Each structure stands twice: as structure tokens, then as C-alpha cells.
Amino acid sequence: MASITMQNLVKKYDDGFPAVNDVSIDVADGEFLILVGPSGCGKSTLLRMVVGLEDITSGDLLIDGERVNDKAPRDRNLSMVFQNYALYPHLTVYENIAFPLRLSKGQFSKDEIDRKVRAASETLDLDEHLERKPANLSGGQRQRVAMGRAIVRDADAFLFDEPLSNLDAKLRGQMRTEIAQLQRRMGITSIYVTHDQTEAMTLGDRVAVLKKGVLQQIASPRELYEQPANLFVAGFIGAPSMNFLPARIEGNVFKTPIGDIEVPERVQQKVSGKNDIVLLGLRPEHFEDSKFVDEAKVPHGTTFEAEFTHTEWLGNQQYGYIQFEQDQAVKHKLDELAKDLDADEMPSQVVVSLDASSRIRGGTAANIWLDAAACTCSIPRPVKTSPATRRPVRS
């Protein structure tokens, strides 16, 4: 086992574009780190730099304190599990798992190989499939074979690049639990790249958020969610995403396009005397159908009427959608934010979470309640991170 230290890592591909731009992350021995970010933000590149499949343009990579920039992948003793499993179709499950051991010729006796393969197969519940070929296995079983191959190597760390993205939702859930348990049981340092919000929030000790090759924040899932470092992180973490609403301050009221929201006491000082436009960041779960709010809680929030376009009932939860007109006066501010969030434009709708038994339906106006404590992120200002610009390609 080992710690992995990334110091100011930069990766520039041939076109000069910094796919990874000055990233420094310390992964402690035994830690489970998750890497997230939009497509193309450099997650795979960073992982491949760690494992040695990609040269490091500048910066240092240390494994257990030792600089390994120039070491070949096989000398770094890390195990990578890919999205497409990379199994050998003509080999049995047993031989697929044994493969990395046979590759290091002479290092392991036949008995040792057998012992290691069987131990891995027991851990991964693959005993009854050892003689089968990958083509005859389910996606989840194939994924476990790929894990087995990583385990037998006694690697110092596991690196996962979206290992579950080919699986259906149910299997994903199962494998997620298995990976979490396995990692905890083995206590092996792991870096895990994912697009999946649930994986990001549940699997790891800490989550690192990347945007255009630049590290935005690295923190526990709870901290990312509750204290995002900037608007990008606020908008990226959480599903459905945080709503961003422009608001004008008039006395003690935020005039928003979906209704008047009383300025919570906690932020009164911050906004008093300002008649500027601010951006409210409000998470869906901070709203509720006012009929379902405890009487004791009512004074801790603000209730206002809004027009719903439609609702989505998911059995155990429900979401309501409120459309609004974008305020032209703040358009430039929202466009800037949209760019920051990698979106074409800011959606002009608010998603609110409603009790599953709420009777609010599309096409009607209803009273909704907003938790005042929700304003932790109430007036985020766009944070300028140096945008990585691609050099024009010369023809």
C-alpha cells in the first residue's frame, strides 16, 4: 500500500492544450479518492499519468514519497481497472485473473498463482465461474474478473476509470457496494474516476472536482455539497443540480422571477443597503409543498406562490418544475455563469423537491416553502478560474 502525491502536475498534449493544468493532490495511504468533472476535463489523463500510461509534462508524481515520473508503468506497482474491463476473450476467468502473474515470468510458482487466483475469486464470489469465458458472463461478473486481475497483483493502489459505466442501474448499485466494501476490507489506496453523482457522493473519503484540467476543490462529499468553493462546484455536485436564481434586493425581500423570497436573517447584513442583483443558489430539497411543512418549521423559512409547469413522481420522491422568464438585466451575469458551468445557457426553470404525496400538479399555482437555512450558498459570485484556452490549430 502506498500514498500517492501529485505535485503541480501538468499534461500538455501535442497541440499544447493543457489537459491537466497544475493539479496537486495528496492521496493518503489507504484513502479512497474520487475524481469527478465534466467530460473532457482531464480525469482519464490524470489517472493515466499516475499509472504511467501518459508522460508527465511537468510536475512531480510521488508514490510513498519516491518520485516515479520516469518509472515504467509496471515498476509503479499500481493496478488499473478500465470501463471496458479489457479481458482476454479466449482465456477462462481463471486465466484472465492469473494473467498478470504469469506475465511476470518465474516470479510466482504454479502453486502461488493458484493460491492467489483462488483467494481473489473467493473474495469476488467468482468460484463457480472460473472455467468460463468472459463472453458468457454478465457485465457485473466481467467487472469482478477485472477486479480480480487487479487484486492478485498485490498492487500498492487501485486506479479505476469509470469501471461501472457499462452496467445497468441495478448492477451498478450492487457493484458500487461491492467495490466500497472491498476497498474498506483491503484498505488499499484507490483513485476512482466517475461521472455518477451517487458514486461520487458515497464511495470515497474525499472527492476532487476538476474543470478544464484545473482542480476546483477537494473535500469530503458533505463539505463539497454544503460548502462548495465556487459556483461551478455548487452546480456540478448534486442531482438534480442546484438552482441559480437571479434576484433583486428590495428592502427585506429578494425579488425573484418565481416569487418574493424574504431575505433570511443570516444574510440580511450581507445584502443590506445593496440594490444590486444577486444570484441565489438554492437546492431542490430546500423547497417543500407548504402543506407538508411542520408548523414549527414554517417561521424558519419563507412561503410564496409559484406556478408549476409539471411534476415528476418517482414513488419515494417527487419533483416540481417552475418555469420563469429570464431577467434581461442580468442576462450577462447568467451567461457568464453558464459558461462557467459548461452549459449553453442557464435553464429558466427551478426544480423543487416535493413530498411524494404532494398533490401539486402541473398547470397550477401552489404555495411552496423555502428553508431559510438554504441560503448557505445564497449569494455566490462567479469565481474566476483561469480558463484553459485551446491554442488555435495551425493548418
Ligand X SMILES: Nc1ncnc2c1ncn2[C@@H]1O[C@H](COP(=O)(O)OP(=O)(O)OP(=O)(O)O)[C@@H](O)[C@H]1O
Contacts to ligand X by CB under 6 A: 13, 19, 37, 39-45
CB of 393 to ligand X, least distance (A): 11
Give residue 111's identity as a one-letter amino acid code.
D
Query: Which is closer to ligand X, CB of 136 or CB of 198?
Result: 198
Contact partner at residue 88 from ligand X, Mg ion, none, CB < 5 to 8 Å by partner kind: none
Query: Which is closer to Mg ion, CB of 44 or CB of 216?
Result: 44
> Could you tell me the three cell numbers for 9?
502536475
Under the criterion CB under 5 A, does residue 318 sit at the interface with Mg ion?
no
Under the criterion CB under 5 A, does residue 183 sit at the interface with Mg ion?
no
Q: Which long-range contacts (CB under 8 A, 24 or more apart) does 10-14 make?
A: 10/56, 10/57, 10/58, 10/59, 11/42, 11/45, 11/46, 11/49, 11/54, 11/55, 11/56, 11/57, 11/213, 12/57
CB of 83 to ligand X, least distance (A): 9
Query: Which is closer to Mg ion, CB of 39 or CB of 328?
Result: 39
For 257, 259, 261, 354, 365, the CA distances from 308, given in Å and listed in that order, are 13, 12, 17, 12, 6
* Cα(366)–Cα(369) distance, integer angstroms: 10
Contact partner at residue 39 from ligand X, Mg ion, none, CB < 5 to 8 Å by partner kind: ligand X
* Nearest in space to 347 (alpha carbons), one of 240, 243, 232, 247: 243
User: Apex CA 372: angle with CA 367 and CA 375, to 5°?
Assistant: 120
Ranges within 30-59 binding Mg ion (CB under 5 A): 44
CB of 70 to Mg ion, least distance (A): 24
CB of 347 to Mg ion, least distance (A): 26
Query: Which is closer to Mg ion, CB of 82 or CB of 304?
Result: 82
CB of 20 to ligand X, least distance (A): 7
Query: Which is closer to ligand X, CB of 214 or CB of 267?
Result: 214
Chain positions contacting Mg ion, by CB under 5 A: 44
